[in-house]
């Protein structure tokens, strides 16, 4: 039951609202219509509750005023209770105020337990009636706004999931990993994901959440490496007003926000030993205490962590707590680098080409056989992330319908490392690449630097070094 004494609504203008009044006494309908004509934009009245479904099919009402009894001589309230239930079936957010005789307070309380918002008694006090209606209207608009916010959040989550969807390929290594994800997703086990930068650790974490029992709740991703020592506690545990200089209001931390959902901590290997101890305490107690507070808040989270560091070696070297490692490592998933599953490169490249072809309105682009060979022999130090960005850049800068090797703008340093002959020196490849890109950009150094993924200062230095005209 909602008690309006504790309810502090945001202001909503009731004069834009709608109300349906259901009572078998015509004089009551007329009286309420006259009383409320300046309070509501739309007022509909019906003497028989049997017409309620008809009116609900054509309109949405902010408030329903519903009599408890309709049959002559009946004071049981059963008919009012029946139609209350029917209204809530038609609109689960419906705000229903029951109209009852003074002596039927027990019936009104029963109605509230079944979903009514409030009740008024006959004869009513005009001022109290208006206050009740205004509070009810505020409640209705708040319900609607909350549902809109939830829908926006759900849509945002769906959009994020679209951007982070899994594109895996068919290699034996990835097939095995996807099989493991399917097995562990429905459990509550903590997951540790290992792999180089760009291998898709967050994608795996999101896939686990998407297939878990918590998929209707939030997925909170935190890059631990981006949090300084001084900010970590405030960001992760939250704080209360006045806890430190800039704490102007109470704020929940990421762990508390993730309550009921999944918390993904990326780059967990970057945590210092003191912060590892504090995180371990939260994991063990399933409670978090905001900075400046002494009151622990219970949290229910599914924990997934990831790192690109050799965490087992860190445990041996005492730079990562062994007890925390075993807390995180109920299930360990190790992602291979892209060069270790090169058979997936053609599939991934084609998938990214279709994605960015649609995005940039170039749906007919194709990779030539030579371009595909170059992609398959390149070592991909940035893994899948680098491949994705390479295809996007190639699509953006493409001018024809075919992507050739020179359209891929792969880093010359990595190309040298992937060379089988070893006859080309790094400097030669780098100079040739810079000359070619500058030529294609018609001497526009800013654009050339952007394509080469280096600063203009670095580009100028290399131009001077190689004597490029």
Query: Residue 96's closest CA among 39, 147, 21?
Result: 21
How confident is the model over 125-157, as pLDDT tens digits?
899 999 999 999 988 888 887 676 666 666 566
CATH class of this structure's domain 341-400: mainly alpha
Q: Which residues pair with 67 in a beta bridge?
A: 99
Q: What pairing do the DSSP bridges indicate for beta strands 63-67 and 96-101?
A: parallel
- pLDDT value, residue 422: 38
Contact, 38 vs 130, CB < 8 A?
Answer: no
Residue with tokens 């490849």: 429
Eight-class DSSP state of 70: -
Structure tokens given for 345: 């490169």
How confident is the model over 195-238, as pLDDT tens digits?
999 999 999 999 999 999 998 888 999 999 888 888 898 889 98
Angstrom distances, CA of residue 208 to CA of 161, 182, 191, 254, 364: 12, 8, 9, 19, 34
pLDDT at 306 over 50: yes
Burial class (CB in 10 A: 0-12, 13-18, 19+), 443: exposed
Buried b (16+ CB within 10 A) or exposed e, 198-236: bbbbbbbbbbbbbebebeebbbbbbebeebeeeebbbbb
- pLDDT value, residue 13: 72
> What fold characterizes domain 164-334?
Rossmann fold (3.40.50)
- pLDDT value, residue 307: 95
How confident is the model over 367-381, as pLDDT tens digits?
999 999 999 989 999
Most confident range (mean pLDDT) of 141-150, 282-291, 428-437 is 282-291
Please tell me the pTM assigned to this model.
Answer: 0.58
pLDDT at 301 over 90: yes
Handedness of CA 39, 42, 46, 50 (dihedral sign): negative
- In this prediction, residue 414 has a pLDDT band, given cuts at 50, 70 and 90, of low
Q: Does domain 411-469 have CATH number 1.10.150.20?
A: no
Distance of alpha carbon 417 from alpha carbon 414, whole angstroms: 5
- pLDDT value, residue 366: 94
Contact, 209 vs 302, CB < 8 A?
Answer: yes
3-class DSSP state of 379: coil
Q: Which residues pair with 43 in a beta bridge?
A: 19
Query: Residue 111's closest CA among 170, 140, 69?
Result: 69
- pLDDT value, residue 444: 83
- pLDDT value, residue 362: 92
Q: Tell me the average pLDDT of the chain.
A: 85
Average pLDDT score over residue span 185-199: 94
Average pLDDT score over residue span 400-423: 67
Contact, 248 vs 241, CB < 8 A?
Answer: yes
What are the residue ranges of helices labelled H in 114-218? 126-163, 172-184, 201-210
Distance of alpha carbon 267 from alpha carbon 461, whole angstroms: 34
Of residues 241 and 176, more confidence is placed in 176
- In this prediction, residue 281 has a pLDDT band, given cuts at 50, 70 and 90, of very high
3-class DSSP state of 119: strand
pLDDT at 423 over 70: no
Ranges of each domain in the chain: 14-146, 164-334, 341-400, 411-469
Q: Does domain 14-146 have CATH number 2.40.40.20?
A: no
pLDDT at 413 over 60: no
Most confident range (mean pLDDT) of 28-42, 72-86, 106-120, 455-469 is 28-42
- pLDDT value, residue 426: 52
Distance of alpha carbon 436 from alpha carbon 430, whole angstroms: 10
Buried b (16+ CB within 10 A) or exposed e, 315-330: beeeebbeebbebbbe
pLDDT at 2 over 80: no
Q: What pairing do the DSSP bridges indicate for beta strands 402-403 and 366-367?
A: parallel
- pLDDT value, residue 295: 84
Domains 341-400 and 411-469 share a fold: no
């Amino acid at each position: 039951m909602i008690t309006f004494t504790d309810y502090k609504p945001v202001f909503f203008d009731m004069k834009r609202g709608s109300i349906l009044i259901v009572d078998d006494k015509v004089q009551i309908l007329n009286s309420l219509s006259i009383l409320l004509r300046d309070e509501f934009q739309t007022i509909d009245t019906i003497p028989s509750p049997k017409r309620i479904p008809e009116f609900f099919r054509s309109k949405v009402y902010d408030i329903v005023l519903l009599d408890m009894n309709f049959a002559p001589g009946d004071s049981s309230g059963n008919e009012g209770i029946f139609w209350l239930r029917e209204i809530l079936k038609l609109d689960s957010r419906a705000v229903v105020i029951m109209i009852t005789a003074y002596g039927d307070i027990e019936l009104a309380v029963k109605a509230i337990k079944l979903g009514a918002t409030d009740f008024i008694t006959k004869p009513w006090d005009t001022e109290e009636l208006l206050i009740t209606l205004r509070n009810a209207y505020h409640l209705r608009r708040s319900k609607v706004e909350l549902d809109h916010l939830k829908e926006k959040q759900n849509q945002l989550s769906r959009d994020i999931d679209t951007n982070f969807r899994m594109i895996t390929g068919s290699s034996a290594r990835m097939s095995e990993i996807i099989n493991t994800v399917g097995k562990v997703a429905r459990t509550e086990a903590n997951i540790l994901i290992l792999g180089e930068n760009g291998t898709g650790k967050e994608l795996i974490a999101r896939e686990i959440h998407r297939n878990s029992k918590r998929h209707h709740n939030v997925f909170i991703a935190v890059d631990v490496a981006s949090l300084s020592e001084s900010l970590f506690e405030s960001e992760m545990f939250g704080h209360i007003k006045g806890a430190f200089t800039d704490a102007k209001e109470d704020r929940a931390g990421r762990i508390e926000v993730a309550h009921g959902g999944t918390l993904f901590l990326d780059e967990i290997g970057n945590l210092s030993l003191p912060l590892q101890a504090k995180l371990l305490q939260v994991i063990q107690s399933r409670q978090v205490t905001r900075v400046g507070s002494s009151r622990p808040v219970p949290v229910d989270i599914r924990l997934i962590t990831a790192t690109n560091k050799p965490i087992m070696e860190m445990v041996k070297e005492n730079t990562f707590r062994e007890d925390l490692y075993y807390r995180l490592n109920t299930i360990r998933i190790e992602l291979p680098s892209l060069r270790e599953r090169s058979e997936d490169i053609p599939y991934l490249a084609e998938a990214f080409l279709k994605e960015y072809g649609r995005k940039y309105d170039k749906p007919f682009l194709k990779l030539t056989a030579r371009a595909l060979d170059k992609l398959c022999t390149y070592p991909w130090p940035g893994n899948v992330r680098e491949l994705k960005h390479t295809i996007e850049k190639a699509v953006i800068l493409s001018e024809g319908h075919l992507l050739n090797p020179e359209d891929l703008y792969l880093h010359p340093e990595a190309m040298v490392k992937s060379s089988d002959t070893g006859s080309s020196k790094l400097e030669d490849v780098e100079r040739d690449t810079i000359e070619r890109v500058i030529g294609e950009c018609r001497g526009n150094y800013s654009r050339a630097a952007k394509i080469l993924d280096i600063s203009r200062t670095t580009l100028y230095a290399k131009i001077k070094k190689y004597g490029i005209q």
